[in-house]
Amino acid sequence: MVTTTLKKKQVTQHLEPGEIEAMFGSGHSEEPREAGIAPQPGAQETRPPDRNFKSQTQKVEEAVARSVRESADKCCVLGKYRQAESLYKRALAQAESVYGPCHIEVSVVLNNLAVLYKYMRNFDEAERLYRRALAITVAGLGADHPNVATIYHNLGGLEHARGRHAQGEPFARRSVEIREKALGADHVTVAADIAALAAILDGQKKFDESEPLYHRALAIFERAYGPEHYEIALNLNNLAALKHAKGEGEEAERLYRRALAMKGKLLGPDHPDVAMTLNNLAVLCKSQKRFDEAGDLFQRALAIFERALGPEHPKVVTCRENYANLLRSRKCRLNDVPADRAHLSI
């Protein structure tokens, strides 16, 4: 959903319908939008030929570099973003030292650190890292490799997060094109690309195109994973946001609650993704004048966001503003005071 700010009018804001990102090599399929894509063992290197023979020391260094990156991936999955950033920076320095600056393992770390920076709203740095990862991956694996599709997928997600949905659409379509050609139309990673494209189309209010894509992606995920999986939860949240935008409140609530239960079970009750769905469900309740329920949901979401992201993160600010707007609306109902004249600090 588009985040909107208008003067002299209280606007309740949805958070992004879902994270449109894919991580390489994490091995944790519940967080990435696709299963972990391992670095390619046969990828081209820029090291001199005499390094083709790996000493025991080099093997140990490579294992350590991968271990640090995998630890960073786990922290990112758990919403421990500050810890993940420190580990990714360390992993990047180690990968560049061990493999050279243009090795595929370096592109893996670059991509995953960019995913983190997108979550942290450091968009310019995320784009820089994605584009460097893309150049390395195209040079090492070719322009039609699935890992290239992953980075296009992520560039589309970055533009989605920036609110530049039209700019993100070509990236998203390119990722679908590459991946369908490489893996077939019913592969789960293709479904992740389809769902990401749907979210970008949502941002442009192209609901007639986006809704069938969500249903297609969900069908693939459910066949592959069964009824409960992070990808399913994410797309239920996104489909709920679409239903809400179309005025189908009852179906939107059903989907939000299913997504919320699934995220809580898979990620734990204190994960930022849980808070995102809590916020969006609260927005729906507020629109239906269920103010007490909306207030409880906003409070839960805000507490989780602040613990995980800190008080100044844009998601925290959005959720806090939504809660403040709810309280202003309730105060207006009691005191007959225009909302834009009410003052409240949280």
Q: What is the band of 312 on the pLDDT scale with cuts at 50, 70, 90?
A: confident
pLDDT tens digits along 9-20: 333 444 444 444
C-alpha of 210 from chain center: 18
Half-sphere exposure of 240 (CA within 13 A, CB side): 31
Question: Phi-psi bin for 142: left (phi > 0), alpha (psi -120 to 50), beta?
Answer: left
Cα Rg of the chain, angstroms: 21
Cα–Cα dist 160/155, whole Å: 9
pLDDT tens digits along 275-309: 999 999 999 999 999 999 999 999 999 999 999 88
pLDDT of residue 298: 95
Cα–Cα dist 336/320, whole Å: 23
pLDDT of residue 53: 55
Could you tell me which residue, 242 or 16, shows the higher pLDDT? 242
Cα–Cα dist 37/336, whole Å: 57
Per-residue tokens: 309: 């992201």
Core vs surface per residue 200-218: b (16+ CB within 10 A) or e: bbbbeeeeeebbebbebbb
Contact 88, 116 (CB under 8 A): yes
Mean pLDDT of the region 320-325? 93
Identify the helix (H) or strand (E) that includes residue 218.
helix 207-225
Entry pTM: 0.75
Cα–Cα dist 81/100, whole Å: 26
Of the candidates 274, 295, 299, the one whose C-alpha atom is nearest the C-alpha of residue 285 is 295
pLDDT of residue 310: 87
Percentage of the chain with pLDDT > 90? 67
What's the mean per-residue pLDDT of the chain? Answer: 82
Contact 146, 177 (CB under 8 A): no
Residue 43, pLDDT above cutoff 90: no
Q: What is the band of 29 on the pLDDT scale with cuts at 50, 70, 90?
A: very low
Q: What is the band of 332 on the pLDDT scale with cuts at 50, 70, 90?
A: low
pLDDT of residue 338: 38
pLDDT of residue 346: 28
Contact 35, 64 (CB under 8 A): no
pLDDT tens digits along 85-94: 999 999 999 9
Could you tell me which residue, 309 or 184, shows the higher pLDDT? 184
Q: Give the DSSP per-residue string, 263-326.
A: HHHHH-TT-HHHHHHHHHHHHHHHHTT-HHHHHHHHHHHHHHHHHHH-TTSHHHHHHHHHHHHH
Phi, psi for residue 235 in degrees, rounded to 5: -75, -30
pLDDT of residue 19: 46
Let me know how many helices (H) and strands (E) the chain has, helices first.
13, 0
pLDDT tens digits along 103-153: 999 999 999 999 999 988 899 999 999 999 999 999 999 999 999 999 999
Contact 299, 323 (CB under 8 A): yes
Residue 26, pLDDT above cutoff 50: no
Cα–Cα dist 190/182, whole Å: 10
Contact 166, 204 (CB under 8 A): yes
pLDDT of residue 85: 93
pLDDT tens digits along 93-107: 999 999 999 999 999
Per-residue tokens: 54: 């790996």
Q: Which long-range contacts (CB under 8 A, 24 or more apart) does 299-303 make?
A: 299/323, 300/275, 301/275, 301/276, 302/275
